[in-house]
Amino acid sequence: MLIFVLLIVAGIVVFMRGRDRVAAGPDGGGGAPSLGASRAEPTAGDIRALKPGDVVNYDGGDFIVEGTLRLEQDGFRWAEHRIVDGERSHWLSVEDDEGLEVVVWERTRGGSLEPGPTSLEHQGVTYELDERGHANFTAEGSTATAGGGRVEFADYEAGERRLSFERYGDEAGWEMGTGQVISEHILDIYPSRGT
Amino acid sequence: MSSAGLSEAEATERTLREQLADLVRARSRAEREARRLADRGSLAGADASLEEIAGRYRAQAGRLGEEVDGLRTSLREQEARVEHLRAEASGA
């Protein structure tokens, strides 16, 4: 009888460990961090692993990642991707700082606004300064920047709206962009081969 | 369903996504080439065959677009299959 009970207990232990391994992923160790609390499976593509050549299905279009800027400031890293679908193009920024934030940007050159004040008004929206500083960047693919260097930036925000200024090099003018925070769940990613 | 079955289904989903990326890029190249040739063909004195070749690229882009749509449907079906297998594996 005792042996029978031990066999049942051992069977339950083996079953539970097997379930844990399935939940942790095929390597059993959890692997890379998951996309978010509600999207833990890796097959749909990881927005944080986006790279040139990948395709992002967004807003009814298949946008190809033509270029990627990888930025770093004091150990904190984020990425900005230039995505193109025919005549349409955006920048997509992906930051993972106290939660994942994905922003779709429209870049505007030659705007009259410049960073400086703690609040700025643009197209009827008042933005508050969030952060200003310098970062190192490297470029992959087609980004219309140098292959790497320093960028000065100033970020403003108003709720889920964003206003950003970037200057690549001391002689360069400010590039302005307006952005909208989106849920990563509305993006469908088709990674290129070799990931 | 075994965990091997789930792994196989997930691998199939990944492959479908990679194939979609390939097809979307191929369609984009065909569309770009069609536009480029049509632009050149519209210039004064341009070779008449340019518009014909542009048309072939447009047709190719159209066929690739149909393949993208078909593959996207297959992906949706495969996603449902994977979700079903995951639910089974987790005992739901």
Q: Where are the domains of chain A?
A: 47-190
Q: What is the pLDDT of residues B32-56, one digit of tens each?
A: 999 999 999 989 888 889 999 999 9
CA distance A160 to A6: 57
Out of A18, A19, A26, the one facing B7 most closely (by C-beta) is A26
- Tens of pLDDT along chain A (195 residues) come to 444 444 444 444 333 333 333 333 333 333 333 333 333 445 567 899 999 999 999 999 999 999 999 999 999 999 999 999 999 999 999 999 888 999 999 987 656 788 988 999 998 999 999 999 999 999 999 998 888 999 999 999 999 999 999 998 777 788 899 999 999 999 999 999 865
pLDDT of residue A45: 76
Residue B34 φ/ψ region, left for φ over 0, alpha for ψ in the -120 to 50 degree band, beta for the rest: alpha
Within the 80-139 window of chain A, which residues sit less than 8 Å (CB to CB) from chain B? 85-86
Nearest to A140 by CA among A75, A86, A192: A192
pLDDT of residue A56: 97
Q: How many domains does chain B have?
A: 1
Q: Which ranges constitute the DSSP H helices of chain A?
A: 2-24
Backbone angles phi, psi at A79, to 5 degrees: -135, 150
Token pair in block for residue A181: 């925070």
Q: What is the ipTM of this complex?
A: 0.90
Q: Does the beta carbon of A47 lie under 8 angstroms from any beta carbon of chain B?
A: no
Q: Does the beta carbon of A22 lie under 8 angstroms from any beta carbon of chain B?
A: yes
Indicate yes or no: CB of B21 within 8 angstroms of CB of A54: yes
pLDDT of residue A20: 34
Indicate yes or no: CB of A192 within 8 angstroms of CB of B21: yes
pLDDT of residue A109: 60
Q: Which residues of B touch A (CB under 8 A)?
A: 3, 6-7, 10, 13-14, 17-18, 20-22, 24-25, 27-28, 31, 68, 79, 82, 86, 89-91
Indicate yes or no: CB of B21 within 8 angstroms of CB of A43: no
Expressed as residue numbers, the domain containing B64 is 3-89
> Which residue, among B17, B68, B78, B90, would best test binding to A if mutated, counting the most A CBs under 10 Å from its CB?
B17
Regarding predicted confidence, which is higher, A10 or B90? Answer: B90
Give me the DSSP letters along A16-67: HHHHHHHHH-TTSS--SPPSBTTB--STT--GGG--TT-EEEETTEEEEEEE
Question: A41 to chain B nearest CA, in Å?
Answer: 10
